Amino acid sequence: MSQSVAERPAVVSVREERHGAIALRTADEIAAIERAGAVVAAALEAAQGVIRAGASTSEIDRAVRASIAGQGAEPSFLGYPNPNGGAAFPAACCVSVDNEVVHGIPGARTLRAGELVKIDVGARLDGWCADAAVAVVVPGAVDSALDAFVADSWETLHAGIAAMQPGARWSDIADRMQRLAVARGHGMVDGWHGHGVGRQVHEAPQAPSLVSHGLRAERDFTLLPGMVLAVEPILVLGGRGTIDADGCMQAQTAAAGADGWTVALPEGSVVCHVEHTVAVTRSGPRILTRRPANRAGCDSNTNHGGCGLTG
């Protein structure tokens, strides 16, 4: 789940950040978040298992609920308060299709071949949270441009993660992600951000996936060992991504629609959103929501390029 600007926590206020507003987790705490991450990863696997033309998005939600409950955990998004004062989120996962950006509510909608489905899952296990999202093309139609777009989105995410070394500035991570997205001919969506993860699914700081003047001037921070962040770039297929002379991206924005939750671009747009929860460690980034198929053979403390294209 992405954090909205409206939810902005009271955090880092000046250029010289005070990491005291950003929790630093111990190795044991990171291990606990990783156990929650394994729950999320398994729930995403279960969700993918039901994706087919003709399936309803509520089937995806049922699969996620059953998976999380079966692992003795709780869905973080079910009952999540609406930052704009509307009804709480009514499902265990967000399912956003095609032009929907984030926070789609699962329901009666029926999937069609060739649609791009984004599934976002958060879970709490033993008091610790994790948050991740995958993007899946509904089987049955061949669209190599769409497949490439999804691959570009994963590559963007993993390029950002790979740069999450202690001492890096967050703006450098965002810069890497936006440059890669734009180089591949895609735009990005602003206003929905990555975030800290810990006892709550949304904690300080905001971790946007593109560079804005506001990030540079007020909200940038230095990565320190023990920080745990959800990283979640949102790309627009063939969108016009432009970067100004200050290195800041001019991106599309989108707000929640009539149901109070679903954020969408105009019909005809195609949006991809992928996400991992990542710990910064002394030896580099560690993905805490890696799916089982990708855990084997991957050194979780090193660059994940080449082993993360499917999450």
Burial class (CB in 10 A: 0-12, 13-18, 19+), 51: buried
d(CA 97, CA 141): 15
Please report, for residues 163, 196, 205, 285, 298, the alpha-carbon distance to residue 188 in angstroms, rounded to integers and kept in the order given: 19, 21, 20, 23, 29
Asked if 230 touches Mg ion (CB under 5 A), the answer is yes
The per-residue DSSP string of 209-229 comes to SS--HHIIIII--B--TT-EE
Segment near Mg ion (CB under 5 A), from 37-45, 81-89, 95-103, 128-136? Answer: 128-136
Q: Which is nearer to Mg ion, 1 or 159 (CB)?
A: 1
> How many other C-beta atoms are found inside a 10 Å radius of the C-beta of residue 152?
21
Asked if 229 interacts with Mg ion (CB under 5 A), we say no
Q: Could you tell me the smallest distance in angstroms from the CB atom of residue 231 to Mg ion?
A: 9
CA pseudo-torsion sign 158, 164, 170, 176: negative
Integer-rounded Cα radius of gyration of the chain: 18
Shortest spacing between CB 301 and Mg ion, in angstroms: 22
Choices 47-55, 123-131, 207-215, 289-297; region in contact with Mg ion by CB under 5 A? 123-131
- Of 146 and 156, the one with the shorter C-beta distance to Mg ion is 156
Q: Beta strand 234-236 with 192-196: parallel, antiparallel or unpaired?
A: unpaired
| Contact window for Mg ion (CB under 5 A) among 28-36, 46-54, 79-87, 230-238 | 230-238
CB 102, min distance to Mg ion, A: 9
Q: Which is nearer to Mg ion, 122 or 284 (CB)?
A: 122
Q: 181 or 207, CB closer to Mg ion?
A: 207
Contact region with Mg ion (CB under 5 A), list: 43-51, 179-187, 223-231, 291-299: 223-231
User: Do the beta carbons of residue 243 and residue 182 sit within 8 Å?
Assistant: yes
Q: Is position 135 an interface residue for Mg ion (rule: CB under 5 A)?
A: no
- 93 counts as binding Mg ion under rule CB under 5 A: no
Give the count of residues interacting with Mg ion (CB under 5 A): 3
| Contacts (CB under 5 A) with Mg ion, residues 276-305 | none
In the complex, the smallest distance separating the C-beta of residue 165 from Mg ion, rounded to whole angstroms, is 21
Site map 162..201 versus Mg ion, x via CB under 5 A: ----------------------------------------
- Is residue 1 part of the contact set for Mg ion (CB under 5 A)? yes
Task: Please tell me whether residue 243 adopts helix, strand or coil conformation.
Answer: strand
CA 289 to chain centre: 11
Identified binder of Mg ion from the candidate list 34, 98, 115, 131, rule CB under 5 A: 131
CB of 267 to Mg ion, least distance (A): 25
Q: How many CB atoms lie under 10 A from the CB of residue 168?
A: 17
Distance set, CA 58 to CA 15, 95, 187, 246, 285 (Å) = 44, 9, 29, 44, 34
Residue number, nearest CB to Mg ion? 230
Interface contacts to Mg ion, rule CB under 5 A: 1, 131, 230
